[in-house]
Each structure stands twice: as C-alpha cells, then as structure tokens.
Amino acid sequence: MLESWEAESFLAFPFYCLSYFIFTLEILIVALKPKNLLQMTINYMSGQKNEILMQRYGFSSPVNPWDVIKFSGNAKIHLDSFLSVFNISGLPEEYYHNKCLAINGDTFVDGAVVAAARTLPTWSDKDVPPIPSAERMAVKELQQECRQMLAQYATTSKQDEKLLDSLPNAPRTLEAAIKYRLHRKLFIEKVIQALEIYQDKILF
C-alpha cells in the first residue's frame, strides 16, 4: 500500500500537463501496481523539496520526504539512534518506515519524519555510542532553532488553517500560497515533535 506522503509525492509527476485528471490516473496506475513504475515515479521526485515543487508545479506537501531545513548551529544528533527510534531503514536516498515493527495504529512516522532523518544535522561513529545527556542537549538546541524559524512567520499554522477554512472559494493560486506556508510550518512542527519523541526514547 502507498503511504499518504508517497501518494502526495506523485502530485509532481504529471504536472507539466496541468491536469488533475492525468494526475489522478497516474496515482491509480501506480497504486494498481507495477513495481518499476512505482520506482520510476519515486525517482522522479528525488530531491524535490517543496520550494521546487511550488515553483514548478504550483503545490506543496506537509509530508514531503525530500523537504529540507537549514540548521545553522553546531548541535547534532546520533543518526542511527534516530533511525532506530522511528524504525527507519534503508540508505538515505531510500529511507522507508519499517512498518512491520510498528505497533498497529502508530501512524506518527510519515514523509516529514523521513525528511527529518535526512535533514537534521547528525553524527555517526560506529565505535562511539551516543551519550543520552549530550543527545538531549542537541535535541533541545535543534528544537529551539525550529521554534525560532516558526516565530519568524507572521501567522501560525493554526491561523493558516483557519484562514483556509474561511476562504472555501479562494482562487487556486491563493490557496496554494497559503498551503505552501502552512505546509512549511507543519513540517517544522513535526520535526520538533519527532525530536521530542527521540529524546524520550533514547535508550541508555
């Protein structure tokens, strides 16, 4: 089965035709199967962050596994620990959530968490285990930086959501623009949450 963020990713695929119909068809074909087609479509999306999707195709996604946050501090978390807390497997280009391990109904891991695994500053050293207190300190710093990013926006995600609800007949471009900034905030908020879960779950 497709995860919702994977399905959303396919939005980008046929957009030069600007046709929702073709897009829907595309999802159907992909959902209906061929593995190579699925692979091809995912490759198409490789490295496409929301900014690019918005510029080229006029839409964004809150759970884009390729979205990026630029952190400027020195804080880093331990990559393998982060991956294992969220049961993310595979190489960075192909990270996926190992759902067999997840308890039924645990739907926290989505494209945004996969993006977090790629974009959070991490360290990795086979021989050195993470020190929980140091990890927690790094988590706090990274969360702080995320909060500062959110604080720079004139509106919160809740306000954007309300605004969208209050404009059911907004022109598509306006709606896409509000969604774009909303999706950015939702992504950053999800990264903050993922960091919170990470620091709660590091074993020592």
**Site for ligand NAG, rule CB under 6 A:** 86-87, 101-103, 106, 108-109
Cα distance between residue 109 and residue 98, in whole Å: 10
Cα distance between residue 15 and residue 139, in whole Å: 38
> How far apart are CB 25 and ligand NAG at their closest, in Å?
32
Angle at 91 between CA 87 and CA 95, to 5 degrees: 50
> How far apart are CB 182 and ligand NAG at their closest, in Å?
25
> How far apart are CB 158 and ligand NAG at their closest, in Å?
25
Cα distance between residue 152 and residue 82, in whole Å: 27
Check residue 47 and give left, alpha or beta (phi > 0: left; psi -120 to 50: alpha).
left
> How far apart are CB 107 and ligand NAG at their closest, in Å?
9
Burial (Cβ within 10 Å: 0-12, 13-18, ≥19) of residue 80: middle
Dihedral angle of Cα 90, 95, 100, 103, to the nearest 10 degrees: 130
> How far apart are CB 76 and ligand NAG at their closest, in Å?
21
Residue number with CB closer to ligand NAG (96 or 123): 96
Residue number with CB closer to ligand NAG (154 or 203): 203
